Structure 1
Amino acid sequence: MVEIWTNSAGMPSAVARRAERAEASGYDGVTTVDSQNLSGDCYVALALAATGTGRIKLGTGVTNPFTRHPAVTACAIATVHAVSQGRAVLGIGRGDSALAHLGFSPSPVKQFEDYLWRLQGYLNGEEVPFEASGNVDALRLANQPTASRIEWLRPGRYPKIPVDVAATGPKVIAAAARHADRITFAVGADPARIAWGIETARAARVKAGLDPEIPFGAYVNVVVHDDPEVGRRLGEGGVSLFARFSAMHGSAVGPTTEEEKRVMEGIHDAYDMTRHSRTGSPQAAVITSEFASEFGIFGPPAYCLERLKSLVSLGLEKLVVVGSSAGANPDEAARAEQRFVEEVLPGLR
């Protein structure tokens, strides 16, 4: 059965309340962003959410390989895993707003892949070799560690924490296929693009001598509204955020129509990171009705359900539903989410 997740952001107490509501509404998981300049600490939030819930899975959506050493990331998510009695998921990507607000672009793919390798070592309870740049020898200690390990982590008490990579381009998909436990695509809701991501991952796993099958998921922009145009406006901030990932460096990646290519690259050119993910931003203004209908899912409940089922039929085991954007009318946003919970979510069970 497909897992249906929702997302959250904000101060830890707000994320905890969001997780409690999501669990009561029937969601299988909730993510919270890791963007230190724009939101509260994600691991504090997930730990608080763990104490107020008993079933729902808890994940970062997503962390990055820059702002924390892999040992620190592993320790933080392992702490959430212990507090939640085995419900944590480590979502990770190359980084976006968290890095941009420190003056950096996303981590290079090679660096990202090395981070994934080290992260998995820590989460598996293994010794991880010191990095070449280490200089602990300068302390001239009587004795010192020769490798790095999270000493308190005892594999086997709970299921291994899944590393779930958020991936868009072919190089990141391939790196995820080699090192992640799961891949959640951020390529929109166009079945052709999802199918391309799945085949790209499977091919990379086969080339690496691995079983081609791995759990796949997708981030999908969905707003339930009888008027698709109103739904699009409610969710345009999230659409601009995810669509930009497909043209992160100015050129669209993956299979695209001419309209998709034009809009993706237009969003890149117009992107204002100071209005990241917000309705009414310059990048949101680039979105057309045609693009929105392909990249996202906006419309009445039956339409949304049909589109989501078509994605699940491709082999997806997880959908992270991204609804109304920051800055959208709060009453309209609340009604749209309630309709998703009452009129769409049950049909996915």
Structure 2
Amino acid sequence: MQAIIEQFREQIVGAKAPLRLRGGGSKDWYGQALQGEVLDTRAYTGVVDYEPTELVITVRCGTPLAEVEALLAGRGQMLAFEPPRYGAASTIGGVVAAGLSGPRRAAVGALRDFVLGAKLMDAKGEVLNFGGQVMKNVAGYDVSRLLAGSLGTLGLITEVSLKVLPQPVREETIRFELDEIAALRAVNEWGGKPLPVSATCWQRGVLTVRLSGADAAVKFALAQLGGERVSEAAAFWDSLRDQTHGFFAAPDLWRLSLPPAASALILGGEQLIEWGGAQRWLHAAPSAAADIRRSVAAAGGHATLFRAQDKSAGAFHPLAPAVARIHERLKANFDPAGIFNPGRMY
């Protein structure tokens, strides 16, 4: 594997033009337009260390996500943040660089909360180590978690250590017929109670709720909440996680991040609401960007043009001036020549 690291170093140090860091390419559509010569990470693969009793796995960037999940499942464990898979080509490096989490995020935390450590090759070809393999290992700025969602703009993530969790003993899914306002009120009320709610989804007047945990906890929640029991619900939650649900087939798709307690927004398009109201998907044309972002910002959130042919309005919500300066300084420190995935974010 050291020979592959040397190949990465030679390509980075010898680059005369921008480089496009790429694993399986399953998320090439995410963010702004792609630029540069491809640096393919798929050869750098394999599990470096996995100790089930410590709930930590360390993996090289080109390792397929499917392989990691299969290994964990064999020991009754999982990546609890449920990263979208987007097909068999998805790699761990791409998972971390994209920073996306699935239906369980509101209950357990985001991908960045599970990143314990990382190795990053910078523009000089030097491998930098951040964090470690335990939760209490950070002194100063936590760069390893900063890499989550950076879309490869700071450097090449060569290795990452992730916290894993045991799979739930029991899971049940229930449904309720509720309008949007009633559904948002219900999930926020349940969020303040000791209930094992691990995922929620509202669409077209139906609120679907997943309960996960110990048998006694799930049984108690079922008695408290009522609702209609749903059998064979795993496929439904997988369709949300991997965005194969019919809702996501729309050509133009917005991802809205809002405070869970924010009220219903009138945005003129069909919505699907997850994470207890914190993540709201919207069908709307890119031409509506100004109105959507104004409304979402007024409610305390931000709006991402997640998937569209035309992203001239900007894929990501414009940064506040102070935050933009922080981004610029980070980029200047890690990649002063600007060779890594230029323009992928802003």
> Which structure: greater helix fraction?
1
Higher relative contact order (CA 8 A, sep 6+): 2
- Give the TM-score taking structure 2 as reference length: 0.26
- Give the TM-score taking structure 1 as reference length: 0.26
> Which structure: greater strand fraction?
2
